[in-house]
Chain A
Amino acid sequence: MKYLTAASRLLRHSSRNLSDHRSNLQFFCSIRPSSSGLSYTSLRSYEHLIQDDCFHRKITLKNICFRGSGVGILHCLPKFQSDGIRTHHRNLASTALIPERNKSFATINSDDISYFKKVLGGRGVVQDEEKLDDANTDWMRKYKGSSKLMLQPRKTQEVSQILDYCNSRCLAVVPQGGNTGLVGGSIPVYDEVIINIGSMNNVLSFDKVSGILVCEAGCILENLMSFLDNEGYIMPLDLGAKGSCQIGGNVSTNAGGLRLLRYGSLHGSVLGLEVVLANGTVLDMLGTLRKDNTGYDLKHLFIGSEGSLGIVTKVSILTPPMLSSVNLAFLACEDYLSCQKILVEAKTKLGEILSAFEFLDINAMDLVLKHLDGLRDPLPSSKHNFYVLIETTGSMESHDKEKLEAFLVQAIESGLLTDGVVAQDINQASSFWRIREGVPEALLKEGATYKYDLSLPPEKMYNLVEEMRQRLGTAANVVAYGHLGDGNLHLNISTQQYDDNILAKIEPFVYEWTSKQRGSISAEHGIGLMKASKLHYSNSAETVQVMAAIKKVLDPNGILNPYKVLPTPALSQT
């Protein structure tokens, strides 16, 4: 640990600009050990690999995994040479759109610190620069705040006291969970106090008959999955960030993920919440009932509001039973039209057993094979333009396998598929999933990424990708992948470095295009900081006004996660 600190201090001094968070040579590499899907670990990497646990994030090392190749952590640490450290400039275009620091917010003083220390004890008050550095930076390393204080409450009561105090002092706060968000919503913009819920990580109860799980908001998703695994249940959501993301954050952002096709969104699976409002009021809506039509269902306000209306402290969620027969097919299609037709076929022929439908294009595949170790192309015989991943989950192996194979045979015979493989055991299935789940990581290693997450009518989806390729030409690599089954495209433009010229060609074109198709500019990633000023592309002015009105009611001083989700002008109108 000492070596890391000394080395990091050295690196910090070598940065020309110590306080300017925009040009910062510190390099965090987020790597995913390929066990159990993907755990996020933040390491500092210089010329050689550091095989060490990181200060801030938990590494969950598992030997057996569902989506991973079961190889230990050493195999997955990326090999970075010194030229891998890249300077990260926040592009000027988006800086212009970030609002000024709200003058009505106070700044912390020593009295505040003593109060927090009294409420949380010494351990819950973090002012250490190293730890704050990590908490101030988002996973994409695109945004960095300058908070000087992080609080780590362990009980709802503590959260309530903190918020009550901050509200009375008009101190802005940022609720933070696993900090794996992709739109800069989980880190401070200026000096907001970070309230990290990670210490509230107990499972409170689990009903084996109904499958209803009640847990604290700081539970890491993967840990919940392991817990449920023992009981014969699964979480209704699954995403690449499962090793670090927390359920409170998932709920607050209405996370989507790979299983949404089958189990629906969190609005359906969450049965109850306990939320602390801006003034410290604890709203106990922690019901465990499947049906409860008594008044306004307020929990839906907090699901997806990204911490701007309240801090989620406990979650009650309905978990589906684990079914024994999981089959996975990795398929190749010639063109996008075939991908769509396969989707329709899959829905009708596979019906109730279909549990995931993902796609990636050839650029995404190339990147993954280039950057991720231990992966091989399942269909090496030729290059294919599109790859589709179909997963089925059911209770009878023979029935499901027969159904899947019949569907695949018909698809090949009718020319919809050009090739494909079916995973014969869990290890093979994990490596196929690793290909799809590894695309964001591969993009991160490739260089700078402009990331867009759009909901579009499936027929039109790929037209956007092709138009973007025409616009950018050779300047950038346009990579497309996503949850085709849900109509969700992850459009990523990969370049060597962030470049405003390229950004100008992308935005606002991509938002306007989406808006014209009445699509969503953020299917599942949320608004955060990145898209706060873009809300109007997918919402009418009146809708945004009502959102602002609700915000005013629940958080009159606007201390919860300011500058995010709602555009500042809309808020100042109320």
Chain B
Amino acid sequence: MKILVAVKRVVDYAVKIRVKPDKSGVETSNVKMSMNPFCEIALEEALRIKESGRASEVVAVSVGSVQCADTLRTGLAMGADRAIHVECPGTLYPLSVAKIFKALVDAEKPGLLFLGKQAIDDDCNQTGQMIAGLLKWPQGTFASKVVLDEGNKVATVDREVDGGLETLSLDLPAVITTDLRLNQPRYATLPNIMKAKSKVIKKLTLQDLNVEIRSDLEVVQVTEPPKRQAGVILSSVDELVDRLKNEARVT
């Protein structure tokens, strides 16, 4: 069975985000970029399934500008067998990515598609679900545990939902999006980094996939949330009551 894993190149989780002065977006030039943490978890899960003998190949896929190749290299260094880079400049929204993936899945025919539950730059949490909708595949989102059965026919997925854990049974092929507690991603070891150099990153364009995307969304403005006001130490209960009544408007 082939497993496809979608990975996204985002601003590194630990970087302090700054908004561009013209408020058109977030500052991304000269800022450390890395693989989306949830995508790392997705890739790790795929690798573990392959190591248990259930899958024959793990393919890392990324959609975006030229620099996505860096993220794919990381994926290959972690252990993916090959990578596909769909070159597509400009901002991409989940629906566009989903359409691209539909075309890719039709071509590659994997048994499982793993994604991170959401990207930490837009927090959309839509791509996995949309792909499943377009493909008419079952989906198990926010997975905190994935167990495949003997014949790779059914996946049992524990989902983290607001009320607790929900267990679903999915017929393969299926889309699974991964949540934080699914696993702890491995480090890219030197031997694997060296092996990754000889692994292939196939480049595709939108024309190759016969996909047309247009965006119905336009970002008008990006601003920082209002700065948190410092707390004030009050000198007496009377002052507190006064402030509560007049400033906080507590009746």
Contact = CB atoms under 8 A, between A and B. Distances in A.
Interface of A: 64-66, 70, 229-230, 324-326, 329-331, 376, 378-379, 397-398, 401, 405, 408-409, 412, 417, 419-428, 430
Interface stretch (B55-63, B190-198, B233-241): B190-198
Contacts of A70: 13-14
B14 A430 contact: yes
Q: Which of the listed residues B12, B37, B184 has the most CB atoms from chain A within 10 Å of its own CB? A: B12
A424 B14 contact: no
A419 B190 CA distance: 6
A421 B190 contact: yes
Contact of B191 (A326, A419, A424): A419
B187 A421 contact: yes
Given A397-B70, A426-B13, A408 B190 contact: yes
A401 B70 CA distance: 10
A37 B37 CA distance: 21
B41 to A, nearest CB: 12
B190 A420 contact: yes
B34 interface: yes
A458 to B, nearest CB: 24
Interface in B26-47: 30-32, 34-35, 37, 40
Interface residues of B, number: 24
Contacts of A325: 32
Given A397-B70, A430-B14, A424 B194 contact: no
A428 B187 contact: yes
A405 B193 contact: yes
A425 B12 contact: yes
Contacts of B74: 424
Interface string B143-173: 0000000000000000000000000000000
A420 B40 CA distance: 19
A430 B31 CA distance: 17
Contacts of A229: 16
B188 interface: yes
A424 B190 contact: no
B14 A66 contact: yes
A409 B197 CA distance: 11
Contacts of A329: 190
A374 B134 CA distance: 40
B215 interface: no
Contacts, number: 76
A424 B13 contact: no
Contact of A423 (B30, B78, B187): B187
A427 B13 contact: yes
A426 to B, nearest CB: 4
Interface of B: 12-16, 30-32, 34-35, 37, 40, 70, 74, 77-78, 184, 187-191, 193-194
A426 B187 contact: no
B34 A424 contact: yes
| Highest count of chain B CB atoms <10 Å: which of A229, A398, A419, A421 | A421
A409 B190 CA distance: 7
Given A409-B194, A426-B12, A324 B30 contact: yes
Contacts of A428: 187
A511 to B, nearest CB: 39
Given A64-B16, A70-B14, A412-B194, A424 B31 contact: no
B70 A408 contact: no
A408 B193 contact: yes
A64 B14 contact: yes
Looking at B70, B78, B184, B187, the one whose CB has the most chain A CB atoms below 10 A away is B187
A171 to B, nearest CB: 34
Nearest to A398: B70
Given A412-B190, A412-B194, A424-B74, A324 B31 contact: yes
Nearest to B73: A401
12 contacts: A65-B14, A229-B16, A331-B190, A378-B187, A398-B70, A417-B190, A421-B188, A425-B14, A425-B32, A426-B12, A426-B13, A427-B14
A66 B12 CA distance: 11
A420 B74 CA distance: 15
Task: Output the residue of A64, A378, A398 with the most chain B CB within 10 A.
Answer: A64
B188 A422 contact: yes
The listed residue with most B CB atoms (<10 A of its CB), out of A229, A419, A428, is A428
Contacts of A324: 30-32
B231 to A, nearest CB: 14
Contacts of B188: 421-422, 424
